[in-house]
Amino acid sequence: MARRRGLQKVAITDHNTLWGAKAAQQLDPERVIVGEEIMTTEGELLAYFLEETIPPGLPPAEAIAQIRAQGGVVAVAHPFDRRRKGHWKPEALARIAPLVDAIEGLNARCFGREANLRAQQFAAARGLAVIAGSDAHTAGEVGRVVTLLPAFTTAEALKAALTTTRLEGRPSWPTVVLASRYAKWRKRWRLAS
């Protein structure tokens, strides 16, 4: 789907695992960035250019230190989306802001404008880069929103490119959560069988 939509790079950030990202990278090594969406004790982080899984449940500073030890890039996922378990309390987010490379300021699964707008304002007030994330749980959601930036192939080049991001796209319809719920139900049903 990323190829069909003309995406030059796509970051695969499954929840608390690299398995899917590594499998996808084998299919298209130049296009796929191996990443992870990590649930910390305070909220979710996005990590790009990882080699090893960062375990969930760590304090944010410890998770960030482990990402940095691998040479990875760190972003905060959907920080102000209160309907998600992984949203951030403002004081916790302010505490880690100096440690991250970017804030996700356009998440396609943030329904309503407030959460994305607050994230963009938070990033602007602190001079942080803003990125977009499709948060795709289905193929149809891939590339729903995108971050436009100069070409890069390494974590360091991505960090440099983050200084010139431009975001495009529109949030998904709220009905996309039904696909996620169906997938969870189907997985449970298969495991029970």
Residue-wise pLDDT tens digits, 109-134: 888 889 999 999 999 999 999 999 98
pTM score of the predicted model: 0.90
pLDDT score for 176: 62
- Which has the higher per-residue pLDDT, 96 or 142? 96
Q: Is residue 139 in a domain?
A: yes
Percent of residues, the chain, with pLDDT higher than 70: 92
Is the pLDDT at 180 greater than 80? The verdict is no
Q: Is residue 1 in a domain?
A: no
Exposure string for 107-135, b = 16+ CB within 10 A, e = fewer: bbbbbeeebbebbbebbeeeebbbbbbbb
Q: Is residue 36 in a domain?
A: yes
Is the pLDDT at 38 greater than 80? The verdict is yes
Q: Is residue 142 in a domain?
A: yes
pLDDT score for 173: 67
Per the structure, the complete domain to which residue 131 belongs is given by 10-192
Q: Is residue 180 in a domain?
A: yes
- Which has the higher per-residue pLDDT, 158 or 184? 158
- Residue 13: which pLDDT band, with cuts at 50, 70 and 90? very high
Judge contact between 21 and 28, C-beta under 8 A.
Answer: no
Q: Could you give the 3-state DSSP secondary structure of residue 129? A: strand
HSE (side-chain half, CA atoms, 13 Å) at 92: 16
Tokens 């890069």 sit on residue = 152
Is the pLDDT at 193 greater than 80? The verdict is no
Q: How many domains, in total, are found in the chain?
A: 1
CA distances from 135 to 33, 73, 166, 189, 191 (A): 14, 17, 17, 24, 25
Is the pLDDT at 190 greater than 90? The verdict is no
Q: Is residue 83 in a domain?
A: yes
Tokens of 114: 């407030």
Q: Is residue 3 in a domain?
A: no
CA of residue 18 relative to chain centroid, distance: 13
Which of 58-62, 78-82, 127-131, 171-175 is least confident?
171-175
CATH code at 154?
3.20.20.140
- The average pLDDT across 54-73 equals 98
pLDDT score for 9: 97
Q: Is residue 5 in a domain?
A: no
